[in-house]
Amino acid sequence: MKPSFALQARYNKQIIYWLSACALTIFGMILLGGVTRLTGSGLSMVEWRPIMGVIPPLTANDWEMLFVKYQQFPEYKLINNGMSLNEFKKIFMYEYLHRMLGRFIGIIYLLPFLFFFFTRRIPKGLSPKLLVILVLGAAQGVLGWYMVQSGLTNDPRVSQYRLTAHLLNAVIIYSFILWVALDLGNRPERQPTHLLLPSYLILMLIFAMIVSGGLMAGTRAGYAYPTFPLMGDSFIPSEVYSMESIWLSIFEDIATIQFNHRILAYLTALSIFIFVVVASQSDISDTFKTGLKCFFVLLGLQITLGISTLLLHVPVPLAAAHQSVAVALLTASIYITHTLHLSKFSLDSD
Single pTM value for the model? 0.94
pLDDT digits (tens, 9 = 90+) for 7-51: 988 999 999 999 999 999 999 999 999 999 999 999 999 888 877
Which residues touch 225 (CB under 8 Å, ≥6 apart)? 231, 232, 237, 255, 258, 310
| pLDDT tens profile 232-285 | 899 999 899 988 888 899 999 999 999 999 999 999 999 999 999 999 999 999
Q: Which of 290, 277, 299, 274 is nearest to 189 (CA)?
A: 290
Of 307, 309, 102, nearest to 217 by C-alpha is 309
- Which of 327, 234, 338 has the alpha carbon at shortest distance from 26? 327
Judged against a pLDDT cut of 60, whether residue 82 lies above it is answered with yes
Distance CA 227, CA 121 (A): 55
Q: pLDDT, tens digit, for every residue of 136-165?
A: 999 999 999 999 999 998 888 899 999 999
172 and 30 Cβ atoms separated by less than 8 Å: no
The percent of the chain in helix, strand and coil, each rounded to the nearest 5, is: 75, 0, 25
What pLDDT score does 153 carry?
Answer: 86
Do 237 and 231 contact (CB within 8 A), yes or no?
yes
Q: Output b/e per residue, 241-266; b: 16+ Cβ within 10 A.
A: bebeeeeebbbbbbbbbbbbbbebbe
Alpha helices in the chain (DSSP H): 5-38, 60-71, 74, 85-118, 127-149, 160-185, 196-219, 246-252, 254-280, 286-311, 316-342
How is the chain split into domains, by residue range? Answer: 1-185, 188-350
Q: What is the pLDDT of residues 296-327, one digit of tens each?
A: 999 999 999 999 999 999 999 999 999 999 99
Beta bridge partners of 234: 231
The span from the CA of 340 to the CA of 350, in Å, is 15
Rounded distance between C-alpha atoms, residue 232 and residue 235, angstroms: 8
Q: How many helices (H) and strands (E) does the chain have?
A: 11, 0
Distance between CA atoms of residues 80 and 97, nearest Å: 21
For the chain, give the mean pLDDT. Answer: 93
The alpha carbon dihedral of 209, 20, 297, 321 has a sign of negative
Nearest to 71 by CA among 93, 44, 41: 44
